[in-house]
């Protein structure tokens, strides 16, 4: 069996539709909130159907020099077109685009982890400086 850490897939988001894109300032002032937008499928749209969709995005933050990351937020996307008429009939589809906000006294690394119900777990990272 594969080691679980080997199942965290990474790629260039411009070429791979599953990769979460983290958009936020590279540097914030101490005491300011860090606001970030994260989306999946920014360059190449990911399917959004009852059978194939992005189900969640989780955000973690690892402050510089620390061993354990903190979970900042978790978003679940729950509507994928299903209704009593069957798959892809409701016209309601959650989209994998989120905004979050958190404070930190230290810089560090943000990780966004997206889960596709068909194609597994995808990770991207972005460093942020606090100064
Ligand atoms: Fe997928």
List, for residues 7-52, the tens digit of each pLDDT value. 999 999 999 999 999 999 999 999 899 999 999 999 999 999 999 9
Q: How far is the CA of 122 from the centre of ligand 1 (A)?
A: 10
Provide the number of structural domains found in the chain: 1
pLDDT per residue as tens digits for the range 101-124: 999 999 999 999 999 999 999 999
* Signed CA dihedral, 99, 58, 13, 25: sign only: positive
Helix (H, G, I), strand (E, B) or coil at 4: helix
* 7 CA distance to ligand 1 middle (Å): 14
pLDDT value at residue 115: 98
Domain residues for the domain of 97 are: 4-130
Q: What CATH code is carried by the domain that includes residue 53?
A: 2.60.40.730
Residue 2: per-residue pLDDT: 82
DSSP string, 49-73: SSSS-EEEEEEEEEETT-SS-EEEE
């Amino acid at each position: 069996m594969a080691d679980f850490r080997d199942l965290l897939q990474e790629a260039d988001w411009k070429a791979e539709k599953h990769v979460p894109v983290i958009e936020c300032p590279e540097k914030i002032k101490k005491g300011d909130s860090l606001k970030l937008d994260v989306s999946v499928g920014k360059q190449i749209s990911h399917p959004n159907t009852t059978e194939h969709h992005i189900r969640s995005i989780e955000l973690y933050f690892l402050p510089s020099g620390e061993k354990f990351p903190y979970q900042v937020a978790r978003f679940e996307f729950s509507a994928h077109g299903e209704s009593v008429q069957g798959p892809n009939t409701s016209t309601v589809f959650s989209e994998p685009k989120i905004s979050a906000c958190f404070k930190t006294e230290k810089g560090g690394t943000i990780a966004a982890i997206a889960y596709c119900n068909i194609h597994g777990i995808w990770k991207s990272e972005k460093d942020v400086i606090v100064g």
